[in-house]
């Protein structure tokens, strides 16, 4: 299909497509965790989870690849490359995305794509993307599962997740990040530019979610699963560190604990170390939340009330009013400064460094020399990870194929015909994956001496 050409014939409707973009810190990781853990069970019900990657080396034209989930990470931050591309390249990339999504949706009852980064196309009202969705809706039912969190809570959670690493003052970060949280305006733009698409905001608030959890809510509302196994769907993933901790970490030496705002390797380990640490909140923390709530009420609540009315949510407010505080974010710069001395902060950094195991550096840093032991070790890790994903996916698919009725019928028909050229063999994809895994291993063994790399690395 070509975005903007109305490529679908009238009256064609096959399969349901559920896109889950969500907004930052609104349960996306919890939903994705549930989806990946239940991907096999969902596939048995003709619900297929897809992943999308932007491929292409430096100097080459980027391309999109949309494939069935096979154990990889679901989140794909690379979509920003598509959003920020020049118009001509962006058109090609989005056409590829929608063409592959259209084809995939003809093979399943429900097709699911989940990525928080997709949200930028909605809150920025990207005309090219929304027009592509509108055309897709001529051939499929298209639903957008757009989870939204009360803005004062969402802004704090975003600061605790990555905002404290950006080098901005709290007040500047909060103002810049507020742009993505005008939920009612996003709803209006989606309805205006993609009226055939069902854009469905859902409130990320325990009292308003089915079973009090986003994964259970998503399963019921968008996948029509009446019993989403509440125990399995009650996991809360990717929770942030305590506010006082991140405000102390923001002054850590550059590169000490992360190489970019999205490098969570050490921070995830810190969460394990600090999981059982409890203590009373400081007066500054308490007041900062009141200031942030006052700002969010003044900035967003008028739109929130219209959203509540439009969606029929059973609540009178999304960001309650605050008495006695001014909506002045400049106060946040002082309130979110750590109260510890420089010596105490240095002691904290040293303790955290010693409390977690070593993390392989350079994963997001400058390229390593090709002849270094670190390079060979990194290559080994990459090869083995990719191979493990292919083999795990192949095992699952082969088991499903061999137990399926279509497999038996296909093999029987081939026998009755007296020949079988393999073109209709449902195991072809599995064989290709196994061959690719074997080829990786052979190429790797020919280029890297693992024993030497291990000995050199010590």
CATH number, domain of 131, equals 3.40.50.300
Highest mean pLDDT among 30-39, 51-60, 71-80 belongs to 30-39
At residue 458 the predicted structure's pLDDT band, cuts being 50, 70 and 90, is very low
pLDDT surpassing 90 at residue 341? no
Q: Which residue has the higher pLDDT, 114 or 434?
A: 114
Q: b vs e for 401-420, b when ≥16 Cβ sit within 10 Å of the residue's Cβ?
A: beeeeebeebeeeeeeeeee
Q: What is the mean pLDDT of residues 335-351?
A: 88
Q: Which pLDDT score is estimated for 82?
A: 86
Q: Which of 238, 259, 278 is the last residue of a domain?
A: 238
Q: Which residue has the higher pLDDT, 28 or 388?
A: 28
Burial environment of residue 184 by CB neighbours within 10 A (0 to 12, 13 to 18, 19 or more): buried
Share of residues in the chain with pLDDT > 90 (%): 42
Identify which of 242, 230, 343 has the alpha carbon closest to the alpha carbon of residue 289.
Answer: 242
Q: How far is CA 313 from its chain centroid?
A: 26
Q: What share of the chain is helix, strand, coil (3-state, %, to 5)?
A: 55, 10, 35
Q: Which pLDDT score is estimated for 403?
A: 62
pLDDT surpassing 70 at residue 214? yes
The C-alpha atoms of residue 200 and residue 218 are separated, in whole angstroms, by: 11
Q: Indicate whether 72 and 219 sit together in one domain.
A: yes
Number of compact structural domains in the chain: 2
At residue 413 the predicted structure's pLDDT band, cuts being 50, 70 and 90, is low
Given strand 63-68, what is the order of strands in its sheet?
A: 63-68, 47-55, 110-114, 16-20, 141-148, 198-203
The C-alpha atoms of residue 47 and residue 51 are separated, in whole angstroms, by: 14
The answer to the question of residue 441 being in a domain is yes
pLDDT surpassing 80 at residue 376? no
Q: Which pLDDT score is estimated for 192?
A: 96
Highest mean pLDDT among 86-90, 184-188, 272-276, 383-387 belongs to 184-188
Q: What is the mean pLDDT of residues 319-325?
A: 94
Task: Find the range with the poorest average confidence among 309-318, 332-341, 356-365, 367-376.
Answer: 367-376
The C-alpha atoms of residue 75 and residue 117 are separated, in whole angstroms, by: 8
The answer to the question of residue 283 being in a domain is no
Q: Indicate whether 63 and 206 sit together in one domain.
A: yes
The answer to the question of residue 340 being in a domain is no
Three-state secondary-structure class, residue 301: helix
Three-state secondary-structure class, residue 141: strand
pLDDT surpassing 50 at residue 456? no
The answer to the question of residue 117 being in a domain is yes
Q: What is the mean pLDDT of residues 115-119?
A: 89
Where do we find the tokens 């909060």? 174
At residue 180 the predicted structure's pLDDT band, cuts being 50, 70 and 90, is very high
Q: Which of 191, 208, 238 is the last residue of a domain?
A: 238
Q: Which pLDDT score is estimated for 11?
A: 45
The answer to the question of residue 345 being in a domain is no
Burial environment of residue 49 by CB neighbours within 10 A (0 to 12, 13 to 18, 19 or more): buried
Q: What's the domain range around 180? A: 16-238
pLDDT in tens, 435-450: 666 666 666 555 555 4
Task: Find the range with the poorest average confidence among 98-112, 331-345, 381-395.
Answer: 381-395
Share of residues in the chain with pLDDT > 70 (%): 69
Q: Which pLDDT score is estimated for 127?
A: 95
Q: How far is CA 155 from its chain centroid?
A: 18
The answer to the question of residue 231 being in a domain is yes
At residue 346 the predicted structure's pLDDT band, cuts being 50, 70 and 90, is confident
Query: Against a cut of 0.75, is the pTM above it?
Result: no
At residue 366 the predicted structure's pLDDT band, cuts being 50, 70 and 90, is very low
Q: Which pLDDT score is estimated for 425?
A: 55
The answer to the question of residue 367 being in a domain is no
Helical H runs in 127-166?
127-136, 151-161
Q: Which of 238, 266, 287 is the last residue of a domain?
A: 238
pLDDT surpassing 80 at residue 62? no
The answer to the question of residue 453 being in a domain is yes
């Amino acid at each position: 299909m070509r975005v903007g050409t109305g490529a679908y014939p009238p009256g064609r409707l096959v399969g349901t497509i559920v896109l889950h973009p969500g907004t930052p810190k609104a349960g996306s990781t919890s939903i994705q965790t549930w989806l990946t853990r239940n991907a096999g069970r969902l596939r048995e019900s003709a619900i297929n989870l897809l992943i999308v990657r932007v491929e292409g080396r430096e100097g080459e034209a980027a391309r999109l690849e949309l494939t069935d989930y096979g154990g990889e990470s679901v989140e794909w931050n690379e979509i920003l490359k598509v959003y920020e591309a020049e118009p001509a390249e962006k058109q090609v990339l989005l056409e590829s995305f929608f063409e592959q999504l259209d084809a995939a949706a003809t093979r399943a009852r429900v097709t699911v794509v989940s990525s928080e980064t997709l949200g930028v196309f909605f809150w920025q009202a990207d005309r090219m993307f929304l027009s592509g969705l509108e055309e897709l809706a001529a051939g499929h039912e298209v639903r957008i599962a757009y989870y939204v969190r009360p803005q004062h809570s969402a802004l704090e959670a975003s600061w605790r997740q990555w905002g404290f690493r950006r080098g901005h003052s709290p007040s500047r970060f909060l103002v810049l990040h507020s742009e993505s949280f005008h939920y009612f305006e996003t709803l209006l733009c989606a309805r205006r530019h993609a009226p055939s698409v069902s854009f469905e905001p859902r409130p990320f608030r325990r009292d308003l979610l089915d079973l009090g959890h986003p994964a259970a809510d998503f399963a019921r509302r968008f996948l029509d699963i009446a019993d989403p196994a509440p125990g399995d769907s009650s996991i809360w993933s990717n929770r942030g560190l305590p506010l006082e901790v991140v405000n102390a970490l923001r002054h850590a030496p550059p590169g000490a604990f992360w190489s970019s705002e999205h490098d969570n390797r050490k921070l995830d380990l810190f969460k394990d170390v600090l999981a059982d640490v409890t203590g009373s909140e400081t007066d500054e923390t308490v007041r900062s939340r009141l200031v942030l709530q006052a700002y969010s009420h003044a900035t967003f609540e008028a739109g929130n009330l219209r959203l509540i009315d439009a969606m029929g949510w059973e609540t009178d407010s999304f960001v309650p009013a605050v008495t006695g505080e001014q909506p002045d974010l400049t106060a946040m710069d002082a309130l979110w400064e750590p109260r510890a001395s420089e010596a105490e902060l240095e002691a904290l950094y040293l303790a955290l460094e010693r409390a977690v195991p070593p993390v392989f550096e350079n994963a997001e840093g400058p390229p390593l020399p090709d002849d270094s032991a670190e390079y060979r070790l990194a290559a080994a890790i990459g090869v083995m990870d990719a191979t493990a994903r292919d083999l795990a996916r192949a095992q699952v698919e082969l088991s499903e194929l061999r137990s399926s009725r279509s497999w038996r019928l296909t093999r029987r028909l081939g026998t009755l015909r007296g020949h079988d050229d393999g073109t209709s063999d449902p195991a072809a994809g599995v064989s290709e994956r196994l061959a690719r895994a074997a080829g990786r291993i052979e190429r790797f063994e020919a280029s890297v001496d693992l024993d030497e790399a291990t000995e050199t690395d010590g």
